[in-house]
Amino acid sequence: MGQKNVRYAVVGTGWFAQEAILPAFQNATEHSKLAAIVSGDPVKQKEVGERYGVPAYGYEQYGDLLESGSIDAVYIALPNAMHKEYTLRAAKHKIHVLTEKPMAANAAECREMVAACSDAGVKLMVAYRLHFESGNLTAIDHIKSGKIGEPRLFSSVFTQEIQEGNTRLDADLAGSPLMDIGIYCINAARYLFQDDPIEVTGFAASSGETKFREVPEMVTAVLRFPKDRLASFTCGFGEARVSEYRVVGTAGDLRMQTGYTFRGAIQMHLTDEKGETRTTEFGERDQVGPEIEYFSECVLRNREPEPNGLEGLADLIIIDAINEACATGRAVKLPPFAQKPRPSLRQEYKMPKVSAPGLVNAASPGG
């Protein structure tokens, strides 16, 4: 490809698209350009399109956009159950795909997406923003270099209050705490242990509130990794906002406060074998611009993205197994995972934080 920029259409204009994705294009300028938006809301089409100076398309016009020759890639920011359809349609028209996580509603859909993009010769990447974030990449590096000895235990809590009516509470759209935020805990355990689990078990619970009539309020899971290491986490949609994880090794431990956030600072507390703790703060930076620029570089240089379709598939295999464990009350063994590179400090990007303009017909999940 002889071009210098990858032209993107952002598909979906909900809260996260308006809060983080669209503003990130002011940082992602070297190899990326916002060229269009797609929305099912006429008000958003007009106001958001005008705000960013790009044409706006309705969902029924998605095919016309793919055929227009005006874009090279889509950034899919739709509800989880819609990722597969919009990926397959893009691949059919030789359009590269960057999709939000979770990659799809289940592992079977992920496999279809991987196959379609491979057959079409287009790049497929899942938007794991923490694979480019300084704090989490530094945590990976510290553990790999032996600063806490051999990592043995991972534990995490990721909870927040979700308002009634939010799509994350809609089972038909593949919403649930496990899909929306539990996936961060699963992915973190995998990149911190530099391995994939071999068995999982899980429990789901709800308080009885009517908003949890389709999805559980909370899920707790335990993942067994090779070398008899354990990872446990709890994710929930009915609790105070908590976002943290801890890795305990044979000679120390590493704890991340607000470890999964994209707003505000991330704090790392590293305790060595002498019991001395050093705290490092990673100030707020744009985490979405790096994803976009990295993917553009992969497209332009014909390079396979690290968080590719196999990365997204791995997390959905695990999520499907946790759901099975919750339903049956039995531990579920996992098949071997495809081998692929893992995130490292080589993927670190440092872009200044961005401020989002006012939301148009959208609201934060917590209200």
pLDDT score for 220: 98
Q: How confident is the model at residue 2 (pLDDT cuts 50, 70, 90)?
A: low
Per-residue model confidence as pLDDT tens digits over 60-73: 999 999 999 999 99
CATH of domain 6-129+287-306: 3.40.50.720
Class of domain 134-284+317-333: alpha beta
State the average pLDDT over residues 13-25.
98
CA distance 59 to 302: 29
In a 3-state reduction of DSSP, which class is residue 165?
A: coil
pLDDT score for 39: 98
Per-residue model confidence as pLDDT tens digits over 88-124: 999 999 999 999 999 999 999 999 999 999 999 999 9
pLDDT-above-90 percentage for the chain: 98
CA distance 93 to 72: 10
Which residues are paired to 159 by β-bridges? 236, 242
Smallest CA-to-CA distance from 41 within 17, 58, 63 is with 58
Q: How confident is the model at residue 174 (pLDDT cuts 50, 70, 90)?
A: very high
What tokens appear for 155 in the block?
Answer: 């534990």
pLDDT score for 366: 86
Domain range summary for the chain, segments of one domain joined by +:
6-129+287-306, 134-284+317-333
Sheet holding 6-11, edge to edge: 56-57, 32-38, 6-11, 73-76, 96-99, 124-126
- As a dihedral over the C-alpha atoms of residue 319, residue 321, residue 325, residue 327, rounded to 10 degrees, the angle is 80
Number of helices (H), then strands (E), belonging to the chain: the values are 11, 15
pLDDT of residue 1 exceeding 60: no
pLDDT score for 318: 99
State the average pLDDT over residues 143-152.
98
Q: How confident is the model at residue 367 (pLDDT cuts 50, 70, 90)?
A: confident
CB proximity list for 328: less than 8 A, separation 6 or greater: none
pLDDT of residue 297 exceeding 90: yes
Smallest CA-to-CA distance from 215 within 178, 163, 185, 242 is with 178
Read off the pTM: 0.97
Per-residue model confidence as pLDDT tens digits over 237-279: 999 999 999 999 999 999 999 999 999 999 999 999 999 999 9
CA distance 363 to 367: 6
pLDDT of residue 329 exceeding 80: yes
Task: Supply the mean pLDDT for the chain.
Answer: 97
